Structures are given as C-alpha cells and as structure tokens.
Structure 1
Amino acid sequence: METVAAFKEIMAEQTEIALATSVEEVPNVRIVSFFYDKSKKCLFFSTFKGNEKITEFQKNPNVAFTTIPTKNTNHVRVHYAKVQKSERSVYDVAEQWIQKIPSYEENIKNAGQMLELYEIHFTEAIVILGMSSRETIQL
C-alpha cells in the first residue's frame, strides 16, 4: 500500500489519538476522539471548556500524538505539531464528526455548548504499517 494512501486510510478509520503535551518539562498524555480534515490538512478534536489541557496548550502549543489502532498495528505518529483553538465550533463541524463517529451526535446534542473545538496542525507524519514499514511523509 502506498504510504500516503495508508495515511489517509488510517486518519479516516481510526477514531482516537493519544495526545501528548508538556509544560515546564512535565509531560502529560490523554486520549481524545478526532477527525482529520483532508482539505485543511489538520486534525480536529474537542474538549470541555476549562479543561486542564487547555491551560497546557496556552503554556506550550507544541504537541505530539499517535493514532490508536483498533484492527491491526497500523498507525500514524506525529512528533512536531501545534495545537490551537479553532475559530469554528463543534456545531460547524458536526457533520464530519457524526460521519466518522455516529455516537458523537449525542455528545454534540447534549454537551455541544460546553465543548471547544481545537485544531492540530502538522506538516510531517510517520506512517507505521505493521512491523516492517515505517516511513515519514510530508503533507
């Protein structure tokens, strides 16, 4: 499988990332649901307003993440990314969320006003396919 095609497939199929932050040399990692917007070349996730990770983003917007595989070991890793609050809301991207994760419709309906949308921007990704293929791609 071509690596860029594998990247697109993984980003379309996998629903969660382990998102790593670091503030004052103290790392933190958490799992968040996401979707990848191919046209904007960025990853979107939401979090509750006032959440601890928002403070971490404000102190240091540099993040890393890995997708969490569910069917096999294929995954995407990104070391150099920047997180920022989106100008859009979860309502603006509801269709994309629901298309990828149908159960997210309930989250938006019940808690949408309490959620903030964030974007992760990156230009390079490591695509790992099984145990034998690890390739870095430029986006």
Structure 2
Amino acid sequence: MDLTTLQHVVTMTNKIALSTALDNQADVKIVNFVWYPAQPATLYFSSVKDSAALTTYAQNPDVAFISVPNDTAVGNPYIRAQHVKLERSEKTMAELLPRYLETVPNYQKVWDLIGPKLVVFELKLKDLYVDPGLGQNKGTMHF
C-alpha cells in the first residue's frame, strides 16, 4: 500500500465514524476530518469546546474509526484504524479552515454557525487499513 492509494481514497470521503468508549459505554460520532499528504500519519477533526465528548477524549484517548465514503464514491472505498491515539492539537481551526473549505462541501455554513466554538484534535495513526474499493488491492499502511 502506498501514499498515492491513500490519497486517492481520502479524496472520496470527508467524514469518519469515530468510536470511543468510557466506563464500558461505547459511543460513535460522525465527524468531518481533514488530511494533508505531507503529514500522512495524522487526521484532524474538531469538536465543540463545551461538548461532553471532550471528557471522553481526555479520559480514554484510545479510539477507532472508519471513513464514510461520499455518495458519489464507487466501490465503497474506505480507511479504518484501531487503537489510534487521539490528542488535542496545537493547530487552530483558523489554520485548518482553508483545507476544510476545500474538502468538505458546505463547511462554510458550519464555520459561520460554530467556528469560534471549535477545538482541534489529532488522530495519530500507526497502522491504517486502506481499501480503495471493490476489485482493487487493499492493505495496511504502517507509519
């Protein structure tokens, strides 16, 4: 599996189903994310700063996720990972906003409504399963 394949799959999604657990209570949220080819082992997403999710993230930063393909994606391409380290980012939403606007349709509406309330998190990848779609070679990338 190579970076070109990962980049191709990421262009067909902008959402992940993020799975967390706290006190034996599993939870999953759909969140928008952004990714940069120059930093392939990191996904960025945001959460509202007074959200209950922040407590879960702080108390159990071991998460799993799977991407949600865009409606137009053919062959059900996705990425997924387990035991991903979730941590608060030093980046700000203002820094990431151009990438969100480039890759997430209608993100300007989100930004206009809650932009100042968002804080950035990073998902630090060690192993990432990449499935480019039906009939194509799939595999695990190691970072």
Gaps of 5+ in 2: none
Once the two structures are superposed, the pairs formed by residues 1-139 of structure 1 within 5 Å of their partners are 3-41=2-40, 42-70=42-70, 71=73, 72-132=75-135, 133-139=137-143
> Counterpart amino acid of 1:43?
L
The 3 A distance-change label for structure 1 pair 24 and 105 is same
Structure 1, 37-46 or 90-99: larger mean CA deviation: 37-46
TM-score (norm 1): 0.89
- Structure 2: distance between partners of 1:129 and 1:92: 29
- Structure 2: distance between partners of 1:49 and 1:82: 19
- Structure 2: distance between partners of 1:129 and 1:15: 15
What's the secondary structure of 2:95's corresponding residue?
A: coil
Deviation, 1:109, is: 2.8
Deviations 1:72-91 (A, max 9, x none): 31111111211111112111
Deviation, 1:122, is: 0.6
Deviations 1:41-80 (A, max 9, x none): 3111111112121110111001110001232311111112
> Counterpart amino acid of 1:85?
R
- Structure 2: distance between partners of 1:86 and 1:109: 21
The 3 A distance-change label for structure 1 pair 130 and 94 is closer
Contact 2:14-2:68 at 8 Å conserved across structures: yes
Structure 1, 21-30 or 123-132: larger mean CA deviation: 123-132
> Counterpart amino acid of 1:13?
M
- Structure 2: distance between partners of 1:134 and 1:79: 17
Over the aligned positions, Cα root-mean-square deviation in angstroms equals 1.7
What's the secondary structure of 2:76's corresponding residue?
A: coil
Deviation, 1:24, is: 2.2
> Counterpart amino acid of 1:49?
K
Gaps of 5+ in 1: none
Contact 1:3-1:135 at 8 Å conserved across structures: no
> Counterpart amino acid of 2:141?
I
Identity percentage of aligned residues: 22
